[in-house]
Amino acid sequence: MEPADPNVRKSLGIAEDAFVVGHVGRFHEQKNHEFIVRIAEEAVKSNSHVHFLFIGDGDLRTAIAAELKQKGLAQNVTFVPDTLSVPKFMLSAMDCFVFPSRYEGLGLVAVEAQAAGLPCFISDRVPYEAVVDASLVEILRLEDSPELWANAILNSKKKRMRGRQQLEQFYSSQFNLERCVASLASTYESLATHHAG
Quick: pLDDT tens for 49-102. 999 999 999 999 999 999 999 999 999 999 998 888 899 999 999 999 999 999
Quick: pLDDT tens for 25-40. 999 999 999 999 999 9
Classified by CATH at the fold level, domain 7-162 comes out as Rossmann fold (3.40.50)
**pTM given for the model:** 0.81
Tell me, letter by letter, the H, E, C secondary structure of the chain. Answer: CCCCCCHHHHHHCCCCCCEEEEEECCCCHHHCHHHHHHHHHHHHHHCCCEEEEEECCCCCHHHHHHHHHHCCCHHHEEEECCCCCHHHHHHHCCCEEEECCCCCCCCHHHHHHHHCCCCEEEECCCCHHHCCCCCCEEEECCCCCHHHHHHHHHCCHHHCCCCHHHHHHHHCCCCCHHHHHHHHHHHHHHHHHHHHC
What ranges do the domains of the chain cover?
7-162, 163-197
Residue 92: its pLDDT value, please?
Answer: 92
**Percentage of residues of the chain with pLDDT beyond 90:** 67
